Structure 1
Amino acid sequence: MSKVGPQTEAQSALIHLMVAMSAADETLRDSEFRQISLILQTLPVFDGFDRDRLGSIAAEIGLLLDQTNGIDTIIEHVATSVPRKFHETAYALAVEIAASDRFASQPELRLLEMIRDRLDLDPLAVAAIERSARVRYRLPD
């Protein structure tokens, strides 16, 4: 992503998506917010992100999620703001948040389905992303 305005718009859209995934089951878990924080600190897609913007982004997300079609708006924002080559990354971030508490609820699974459909992702890429998350979050016997 370039280091100008479109980067910050795409980054905001990705953050909206992660928080929407966390809120999908109406339970905002600490494990999910810790994972979002870790992602923001470590993944290259968030290089240069101004963490001071998190407060305003959180307010935007709250307003969006209160709207009747808020989830659809967030997904559409990702589809139009995030460059196509990062659509798999967007899906991977959503899966990461869903997997971080080691249980994907029906609302989370439905949201993942909506994201897959709107971003028109390759089914093999989707399967690989989901499998990777299952393996990373597997508990020892």
Structure 2
Amino acid sequence: MNTAAHDALIHLMIVAATSDSAITEKELVRIKALIDRLPVFEGFDKSRLEAVANQCADVLNGPDGLDRVMDDAIAAIPVKLQDTAYALSIEVTAVDLFLEQEELRFLELLRDKLSLDRLTTAAIEVAARARHRRMPS
């Protein structure tokens, strides 16, 4: 996969993490873990992560930041990886087991911009909830 697609996936994860105004340590750890272990990130130079994150922040802070980051990211991601992009965003937002209204809104915006059907996005959401559940006390 090319550098632009890797960067785009990371940009979407960062936006997902910051959609509730601040990135938590859990979210940052999850992003790094996903980059370290998922095949989609094979070939990504991990030493670039901070630069990629800063680039995302710069665009977010500019005019029409959120739309621009999302549109640029989706344009750089191959269509066959759009479900992966959504799944990565879900993974990052689900890490704290509670989604704030802002996170839900970001995921809704992302769903609307991606070429995914509602059944696919629902399956991704259910799978993430199942993976993050804890044993009842």
What band does the TM-score fall into relative to the shorter chain?
A: over 0.9
| Distance in 2 separating the partners of 1:78 and 1:62 | 13
After superposition, the CA RMSD in angstroms is 1.0
| Distance in 1 separating the partners of 2:115 and 2:79 | 10
Q: Which residue of the other structure, out of 98, 101, 109, is the alignment partner of 1:114?
A: 109
- 1:55 is displaced (CA, Å) by 2.4
- 1:68 is displaced (CA, Å) by 3.8
| Distance in 1 separating the partners of 2:83 and 2:112 | 12
Structure 2 segments unaligned to the other structure (5+ residues):
none
Residue 14 in 1 paired to residue 18 in 2? no
| Distance in 2 separating the partners of 1:69 and 1:109 | 19
| Distance in 1 separating the partners of 2:30 and 2:50 | 17
Total equivalences in the alignment = 136
Q: 1:70 maps to what in 2?
A: 65
Q: 1:42 maps to what in 2?
A: 37
Structure 1 segments unaligned to the other structure (5+ residues):
2-6
The residue type paired with residue 15 of structure 1 is: I
- 1:70 is displaced (CA, Å) by 1.2
The residue type paired with residue 35 of structure 2 is: L
Structure 1 stretches of 4+ with a deviation exceeding 6 A read none
Residue 55 in 1 paired to residue 50 in 2? yes
TM-score by length of 2: 0.95
Q: 2:84 maps to what in 1?
A: 89
Residue 28 in 1 paired to residue 23 in 2? yes
Q: Which is worse superposed, 103-112 or 64-73? A: 64-73
- 1:66 is displaced (CA, Å) by 1.1
CA contact (8 A) 2:79 2:115 kept: no
The residue type paired with residue 98 of structure 2 is: F
